[in-house]
Amino acid sequence: MSCEVAATVRTQGVGKRYRLWDSPRDRLRQPVHSRLSRWLGIPSRQYFREFWALRDVTFDVRPGETLGVIGRNGCGKSTLLQLIAGTLAPTTGECDTKGRISALLELGSGFNPDFTGKENVYMNAAVLGLTRAEIDERYDEIVAFADIGDFIDQPVRMYSSGMYVRLAFSVAINTDPDILVVDEALAVGDAFFVQKCMRFMRKFKEERTLLFVSHDTNAVTALCDVTLLLEHGEVEAYGPASEVCNLYRKKYYGAFQDVGAAATLSEVPPGTGESPQLVPDEDLVDQRLKYLNVTQFRNDIELSPFNPAADAFGQGGARVTTVEFLDGTSRSPLSWIVGGELVIVRIVSRLERSIDGPIVGFMLKDRLGQVLFADNTYLTHHGGLWAEPAPPGELVAEFEFRMPVLPLGDYFIDVSIAQGTQNEHVQLHWVHEARLLQSRTTSVCTGLVGVPMRRISLQAERGGAT
């Protein structure tokens, strides 16, 4: 006997077609000519061009599941969400939903710019299915979450884009939706409000259905279970969020491989070739490490070997061959790391040709694909270390730092070698999940990482004396 949970969102072969007209006159000609062709039996003529914003999109989303939708501008993401929300009708296929839908689509959609924020709350919430009594009951919660102060009584045409989003999101989440649709709206919110929204969505998705569109693949990977990648209106990939987001990054960089490849270093002046000293020679050590490291709270991080067969992409011409972790004092290779200790990440690449302005970098990600920290060689050496092209052969980059203390779990390091500048570069070789790091024991109970402290003090005052 099957006990499969019914999908809350189901699309089957969904497509959306638009007619594109070269001039308003052709819009009038088409119906007239169509009728004359039927009456007089003359050949029909088409005055428009067909544009398919979506073609044959099929997927299911179940309760407690979060779907991310990614893709470049114009690929059909917003069209798909409008079909799901019911503001557009599909040309082909079917789109079924179960439960109340609350959609945060275009900025300010559903708001009358001449109404006050309060009037728009009542109007928008009514459109989403709430009665006047229900809105009265939830009004204070809506206003508190939006946190726009006295502007709630001002016309929304006076609002900034961030205030629009605050109010719209607050209304959307306070209608008890079974399905919440968010389309890039949080891109204009301030960091504190975005964090509040992310906390809400993480809690929301535990029991209900969330559809989330964003160009931020780190947010998609952290928030979504599965991800749909659209390309030219068609499904390019559908599967686990981390895999699909890796594919999207690969395709995105691949589309810009030729940008500035020949002249990216014209802005870089020649230099001495010496790397500047970035920090004082004195090493600052967390005073607690010598105590923690003899207890069960020591942060033991086991390292897997470098995976030369890991998923990778790039234009070519250079290839990362080794990623090592070295002891910061003895420089001996490490098979595990202790959080808080001095380490060196050593990345060795093989250059198959001369490379102008090579940039070597890495990023450490958690199991959801969130980037915990990252760095590269550009800012250190852009002053002219590579005034001459780096010759074919081996290229070694080293990053020395105190390893943050990691919570329990699995982590991955991505590495890459690129050519160009910080803002305009060509990826020559990017390796996903080059090495696995497994944090076995730790003193961190919350947060993404623990930062070694230079000093912590606690003082008590009694009778005016410390």
- Residue whose tokens read 């989303």: 61
Domain residue limits at 430: 289-441
Instruction: Tell whether 419 is covered by a domain.
Output: yes
Instruction: Tell whether 357 is covered by a domain.
Output: yes
CB atoms within 10 A of CB 436: 15
CA 171 to chain centre: 24
Alpha-helical runs (H) found in 86-175 = 117-127, 132-146, 161-173
Give the full edge-to-edge strand order of the sheet including 234-240. 101-104, 179-183, 209-213, 66-70, 226-231, 234-240
Instruction: Tell whether 391 is covered by a domain.
Output: yes
Going residue by residue through the chain (466 aa), what tens digit of pLDDT does each one get?
444 556 789 999 999 999 888 888 878 887 877 777 777 777 777 878 889 999 999 999 988 889 999 998 889 998 999 999 888 999 999 999 998 898 887 665 678 999 999 999 999 899 888 899 999 999 999 999 998 999 999 999 999 888 888 898 899 899 889 999 988 766 666 667 877 888 888 889 888 999 999 888 888 888 899 999 999 999 999 999 989 998 898 877 655 554 443 333 333 343 334 444 444 556 667 767 777 777 788 899 999 999 998 889 999 999 999 999 999 989 999 999 999 899 999 999 999 999 988 999 999 998 878 889 999 998 777 644 555 788 999 999 999 999 999 999 999 999 999 998 877 888 999 999 999 999 999 988 788 898 878 777 888 877 655 5
CB 201 within 8 A of CB 182: yes
Nearest to 396 by CA among 344, 438, 337, 433: 344
Instruction: Tell whether 421 is covered by a domain.
Output: yes
CA 398 to chain centre: 27
Is the Cα torsion angle 228, 231, 235, 239 positive or negative in sign?
Answer: negative
Nearest to 50 by CA among 95, 17, 12: 17
Q: What is the pTM of this model?
A: 0.72
Strands 9-21 and 179-183: unpaired
Q: CA 344 to CA 417: how far, in whole Å?
A: 18
pLDDT of res. 464: 58
Instruction: Tell whether 6 is covered by a domain.
Output: no
Burial of 312 (0-12, 13-18, 19+ CB in 10 A): buried
Q: CA 161 to CA 318: how far, in whole Å?
A: 44
Amino acid at 270: P
Q: Which two tokens stand for residue 210?
A: 């969330």
pLDDT of res. 253: 65
Residues, the chain: 466
At residue 9's C-alpha, the angle toward residues 8 and 13, to 5°, is: 145
Radius of gyration in angstroms for the set of CA atoms belonging to the chain, rounded to a whole number: 28
pLDDT of res. 325: 97
Q: CA 55 to CA 33: how far, in whole Å?
A: 28
Instruction: Tell whether 226 is covered by a domain.
Output: no
CA 463 to chain centre: 54
Phi and psi at residue 206, to the nearest 5°: -65, -30
Q: CA 292 to CA 353: how far, in whole Å?
A: 48
Cross-strand partners of 421 = none
Instruction: Tell whether 186 is covered by a domain.
Output: no
CATH number at residue 351: 2.70.50.60
Q: How many domains does the chain have?
A: 1
Instruction: Tell whether 116 is covered by a domain.
Output: no
User: To 10 degrees, what angle do helices 161-173 and 132-146 make?
Assistant: 140
CA 36 to chain centre: 53
pLDDT of res. 108: 59
Q: What is the dihedral of CA 304, 307, 313, 316, to 10 degrees?
A: 130
Cross-strand partners of 104 = 182
CB 84 within 8 A of CB 95: yes
Nearest to 314 by CA among 428, 169, 438: 428
Run of H or E residues at 23: none
CB 420 within 8 A of CB 265: yes
Q: CA 440 to CA 318: how far, in whole Å?
A: 35
pLDDT of res. 269: 41
- Residue whose tokens read 């050593």: 346
Q: CA 461 to CA 31: how far, in whole Å?
A: 88
pLDDT of res. 293: 74
At residue 447's C-alpha, the angle toward residues 443 and 451, to 5°, is: 60
CB atoms within 10 A of CB 420: 22
